[in-house]
Amino acid sequence: MTRRPTSRRSSTRRLVPEITYRPVRDADQELNYRIYASTRADEMARVEWSDAEKEAFLRFQYNAQKTYYDEQFPDAAFDLILLGGEPVGRLYVDRRPDEIRLVDVALLPERRGQGIGGRILRSILTEGEEKGLLVRIHVERDNPAMRLYLRLGFEKIEEQGVYHLMEWTPASAALKEEDP
């Protein structure tokens, strides 16, 4: 009986957890608050307030932001970002007839810098390309994600206080502009 050689090479392919989304529920408000508060941590570290004062301020700001988003973007999708089924952030997108508006995208601190944001943004840019739509977002000037937006092809088109309105134009739209 002849023995066939077996391969002992193991696969070194890294499995990338799937990113999925689900609508924010009332029961998610505490998690959503934590995500929001984490985006303000550097700012809060610079103020000489007690922890209780910081908490009260952040809760007030979170509630004001939620009210503003609900009023200004009534048709937006307000979703939690799930990585392998576990919540890791939030993504709010307002899909309009003439653009895709990224209202808010934020990840928990322990999930930042792992390529998750880039994967999410590239999928939205793919949607914009397929539909021939601009993608726009307001980004704070000192937001560390600014580098990612620029790397993905967003351009600063307008300054609005501490924010830059940034825009990504699909290649299909650029080609239409060039046609006589």
The mean pLDDT of the chain is 89
What is the distance between the alpha carbons of residues 87 and 162, in angstroms, rounded to a whole number?
Answer: 29
Mind listing the pLDDT tens digit for each residue in 119-167? 999 999 999 999 999 999 999 988 888 999 999 999 999 998 899 999 9
Nearest to 157 by CA among 135, 126, 177: 135
- pLDDT for 171 equals 83
Distance CA 134, CA 131 (A): 9
Domains of the chain: 19-178 (3.40.630.30)
**What confidence tier does 172 reach under pLDDT thresholds 50, 70, 90?**
low
HEC states along 66-116?
A: HHHHHHHCCCCEEEEEEECCEEEEEEEEEECCCEEEEEEEEECHHHCCCCH
Q: Is the pLDDT of residue 30 over 50?
A: yes
**Percent of the chain with pLDDT strictly greater than 90:** 78
Residue type, 155: E
What three-state secondary structure class fits 58?
helix
What is the percent of the chain where pLDDT is above 70?
86
